[in-house]
Structure formats: structure tokens, C-alpha cells
Amino acid sequence: MPEPGPQGFLNLNKTKGMTSHDCVAILRRCLGIKKVGHGGTLDPMAEGVLPLALGRATRLLPYLPPEKSYEAVVRFGLTTTTDDLDGTVLTQVKAGDLSWPTLAAILPEFVGTLEQVPPQFSAIQVGGKRLYDLARRGQGVTPPPRSITIHHLQMRHWQPGDYPELTLTVDCGPGTYIRSLARDLGQRVGTGATLVSLRRTLSGGFSWPDSLTLESVKTRLEAGTLYLIPSSAALGHLPAIALVPPLAQAWQQGQKIAVPLVLPLGQPHRVLAAESGELLGIGQAEDRQGEAILKAKMVLQPWIPASPTSHPEQIRQG
């Protein structure tokens, strides 16, 4: 049976000082539901877009657009244990000679596919344990580098001084740590650097200007004006295929069905009910001896057979 309660996505504007889990816990209490998930952790010191999924929409989080954008402020001449101002200071060296042209010259080196070492204080697991747990116990482990992609970096503002600060925007792929980027920029110019502030302006296809604070969510909930983003809209970046009732039923029951060869192979598709446009789940077309076959990667709406007393028109397909 379909799950009761709210279903869909919420574009939350997380405030500084809260963890992503804090936001999820508050929404669970406010809405009275257990199934609430987020689409990418934000550090407590960061603010901005935190995509939240409610109900069965939590199963769709992996299919949101992976690209992210940030506005970051980096301070040079300072390094910390956490690569941001929440950590203990490790080194402090005046960097008054550093200039905008120097940074502008080296910034292109940090664009493209790179190897990046995550911060020691991060949620990455090594040997089944979170790095931040190991670091807090004095058992700091340097994690192995990971391949990340930075699509675009742009310098926005330069504040000169003994400990100058650079404001920049970052467009990147998943898994990119902006704290690590700040640390690596500091190492590159020889002064050290740490992250001062961070705002995520784009995540999962949701943008910061359209996001809601928790206070706004609570106010709208009390007024009955809180509307969730439908799953079909949140996944609008994926190609779609619509199935007529007999094919939709077969696909929902786990059968592989033949589809036109023009359907792109090997990538996720939204599978829709042809009559209603309802999102049934996520499918993927594969080549089987020259024939395109649509298999189910995730069935969002299970097929519900009619009861013996149901009138045929009352049978719900999807």
C-alpha cells in the first residue's frame, strides 16, 4: 500500500550552528513522520541549501542532480585542525604580502578533475569508524585522496591585511570538501589557509533564493500553507518514459519490458503512468541482443491489484 503522510521534497535553508541531523529530527517532530532524509550533509558552521525528502521520496535522493555550488570565505595565514574556524589553531603566520593577482594566477590549477584529501574531521568512514570520532579521541587518520571535480571557481572579493580573506564561488561535483579546498589553496601559496564561512547556494537542483528556514516551515505548517515539491518536479532533469496500464503493471511487478531502441541506454529514467502522469519509479534501459529492455531500479508506486468487490473503473494503476 502507498505510504501515508506527506510525500515530496523540501528546500530547507539550514542556519549556522545546526547539524543536518538536527534539521531532520526537527522536521520529523513537526510533521509527525519518521521518514525524513537529507540530500548531502552540511557542516554545523555552514548554512544554505539542505534538500530534504519526506516519505517515500527519501528513496529518490540518489537521483537528484549531483552538482553543488557554494559561496566561501577563505582566510590566509591560519591553519586549524578542522580546516575551518571551529578547530584548534595549528599555525598562524602573517600573510600581508599575498595579493589578488597571485591568487588569480594559481586558481585555474584547482579547476577540473583533481585528487583531494578530505579533512580529518569529516564523516568519512575508515575501518568502520567516522574520521571525526577518531580525531576527537586523538587518533587522527589521514584519509586517502579522492577524485573530485571542480567545474568553476570565481574570485568575488579580496580583503587585504595581515590575514587576508578571499571570497569565492565554487561550482563542483559530489564529494568535494570546500574546507579541503581552502586548506590546499593555503598550502599552494605557502601561507596556510582555513575556511571562515560557507554557504551552499545549490544542491540537488534546489537553489538558495527559493529555500525556507525552519522558522518559515513551522509558520507555514501552522497556517496550512506549506507545500512540498512533488517528486516528479524534483527529478525533472531525468528523461522520462510513460507506460500504458498493462506495461506499467508489468514493470511495477518486476518484469523487464521492451521499449523503443531510441531510449538512451544505461541512464536512469523517470517511469510515468501514461494516463495520469504519476511517477511510478526509476527505470533503466539496457541492451539485450539488440533489443532495449526497461528494468526497474526503484519502484516508487507498487501496483495495487483490485479487490474482488472493486468496480473495474476503481482499479488503480500505479
Confidence label for 315 from pLDDT (cuts 50, 70 and 90): very low
pLDDT digits (tens, 9 = 90+) for 30-78: 988 999 999 988 989 999 999 999 999 999 999 999 999 999 999 999 9
Supply angle C-alpha 56, 60, 61, rounded to 5.
115
Do the beta carbons of residue 151 and residue 171 sit within 8 Å?
Answer: yes
Radius of gyration of the chain measured on its C-alpha atoms: 24
What single-letter DSSP state applies at residue 263?
S
The residues carrying an active-site annotation are 43
Residue 239 CB partners (closer than 8 Å, separation 6+): 263, 264, 267, 269, 270
- The pLDDT of residue 288 is 83
Q: Does the pLDDT of residue 306 top 70, yes or no?
A: no
Right CATH number for 238-314 from 3.40.190.10, 2.30.130.10, 1.10.1060.10, 1.10.3210.10? Answer: 2.30.130.10
Q: Does the pLDDT of residue 262 top 90, yes or no?
A: no
Enumerate the domain spans of the chain: 8-65+207-232, 68-203, 238-314
Question: Sign (positive/negative) of CA torsion 111, 112, 116, 119?
Answer: positive
- pTM equals 0.88
**CATH annotation of 68-203:** 3.30.2350.10
Instruction: Return the exposure string of 63-82: e unless at least 16 CB atoms fall within 10 Å of the residue's CB, then b.
Output: bbbbbbbbbbbbbbbbbbbb
- The pLDDT of residue 309 is 41
Confirm whether 68-203 and 238-314 share one CATH topology: no
Span 186-204, mean pLDDT? 97
Q: Which cell is 111 given?
A: 579547476
Q: Does the pLDDT of residue 308 top 70, yes or no?
A: no
Does CATH number 3.30.360.10 belong to domain 8-65+207-232? no
